[in-house]
């Protein structure tokens, strides 16, 4: 593959892909700009990495259309696009080798229940268990040791990595990826406190519904609803080690980073960005396009779209930064207060005749 081939490939996704340099240079694969060698393609999307352009050994760089590169064109070849980061994602996909999760067909050690509806080109790995009444779409891949309990619905093109567990009646859309250790549809944390200090378990009679093109990271858990559905809408991306409680709704194309905990009955809008280790109290809502900084604690609803939240308890970025400034100045304010108190005391005691009350 040469640069011309990659230029043609990227023209499927961008209106303009401009070549600067030699289009016949052979390209063997992608690499980070700091570690690239001859034959590698890399990219610059962040200004702080532009310093590596003069030293990289890569043969091809993907850069923005605004970046001046003529001074390097005698040594490097460039493809200039509107969005180099996304362009490099497409290149990574082109060079990525397909993962082998399970051999085509049903492994002899897999257990498939009764009344299972199975599409074409389904792969089920060793020791996987498919419960009664499940529906599995075309081209689905279920890796070894996965478990689908009774009545699970799995759409076309889904990919389940080893040790995924889907509890009964879970509904999963098309092209959903569930990484290892994901548990979908476990009981929500519902217990009724009693006067003697004990608890009675509340039956969790609902389900989980996951939309198309959702990806869920390793060891993440999404609990079933008490009644009705816990919903993850299409295009959402959820990182590793995230807990989503019962009866939550995660809006379309929302991203949630690792170790976030979402309590029950929380509604998160569309295209939100939730940082790592965020904690959310139950029964609150976040509007569309909300951004939450890492380690924030959400204790109330924020219903105005597009707000940026930070801190514990979480507040708008402007308010939280203002309070941080006040906290940083507390020592200086304390010192000044003591000076004023001493000055006031000296005036009251007549020790400073030049000043008076």
List active site positions.
Answer: 246
By the 8 A CB rule, do 62 and 40 touch? Answer: no
Q: How many CB atoms lie within 10 A of CB 137?
A: 22
Reduced 3-state DSSP string for the chain? CEHHHHHHHHCCCCCCCEEECCCCCECCEECCCCCCCCCEEEECCCHHHHHHCCCCCCCEEEEECCCCCHHHCCCCEEEEECCHHHHHHHHHHHHCCCCCCCCCEECCCCEECCCCEECCCCEECCCCEECCCCEECCCCEECCCCEECCCCEECCCCEECCCCEECCCCEECCCCEECCCCEEEECCCCEEECCCCCEEECCCCCEEEECCCCEECCCCEEECCCCCEEEECCCCEECCCCEECCCCEECCCCEECCCCEECCCCEECCCCEECCCCEECCCCEECCCCEECCCCEECCCECCCCCEEECCCCEEHHHHHHHHHHHHCHHHHHHHHHHHHHHHHHHHCCCCCCCCC
Handedness of CA 87, 89, 93, 96 (dihedral sign): positive
Residues in the chain: 357
Structure tokens that stand for 348 in this block = 């009251």
């Amino acid at each position: 593959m040469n640069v011309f081939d990659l230029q043609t490939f990227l023209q499927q996704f961008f209106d303009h892909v401009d070549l600067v340099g030699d289009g016949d240079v052979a390209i063997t694969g992608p690499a980070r700009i700091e570690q690239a060698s001859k034959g590698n393609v890399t990219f610059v999307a962040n200004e702080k990495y532009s310093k590596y352009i003069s030293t990289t050994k890569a043969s091809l760089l993907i850069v923005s259309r605004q970046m001046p590169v003529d001074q390097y064109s005698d040594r490097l070849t460039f493809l200039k696009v509107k969005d180099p980061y996304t362009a490099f994602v497409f290149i990574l996909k082109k060079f990525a080798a397909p993962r082998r999760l399970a051999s085509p067909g049903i492994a002899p050690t897999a257990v498939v229940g009764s009344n299972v509806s199975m599409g074409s080109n389904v792969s089920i790995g060793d020791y996987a268990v498919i419960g009664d009444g499940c529906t599995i779409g075309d081209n689905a891949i279920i890796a070894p040791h996965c478990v689908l309990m009774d009545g699970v619905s799995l759409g076309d093109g889904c990919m389940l990595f080893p040790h995924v567990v889907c509890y009964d009646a879970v509904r999963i859309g098309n092209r959903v990826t569930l990484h290892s250790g994901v548990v979908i549809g476990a009981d929500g944390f519902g217990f009724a406190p009693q006067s003697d200090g004990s608890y009675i378990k509340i039956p969790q009679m609902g389900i989980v519904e996951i939309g198309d093109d959702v990806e869920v990271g390793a060891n993440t858990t999404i609990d079933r609803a008490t009644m009705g559905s816990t919903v993850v809408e299409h295009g959402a991306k959820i990182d590793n080690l995230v807990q989503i409680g019962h009866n939550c709704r995660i809006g379309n194309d929302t991203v949630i980073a690792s170790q976030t905990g979402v309590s029950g009955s929380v509604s998160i809008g569309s295209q939100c960005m939730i940082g790592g280790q965020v904690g959310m109290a139950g029964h609150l809502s976040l509007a569309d396009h909300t951004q939450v900084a890492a380690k924030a604690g959400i204790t109330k609803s924020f219903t105005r779209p597009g707000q940026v939240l930070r801190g514990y308890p979480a507040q708008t970025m402007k308010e939280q930064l203002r309070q941080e400034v006040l906290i940083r100045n507390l020592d200086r304010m304390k010192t000044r207060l003591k000076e004023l108190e001493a000055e006031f005391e000296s005036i009251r005691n007549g020790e400073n005749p030049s000043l008076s009350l």
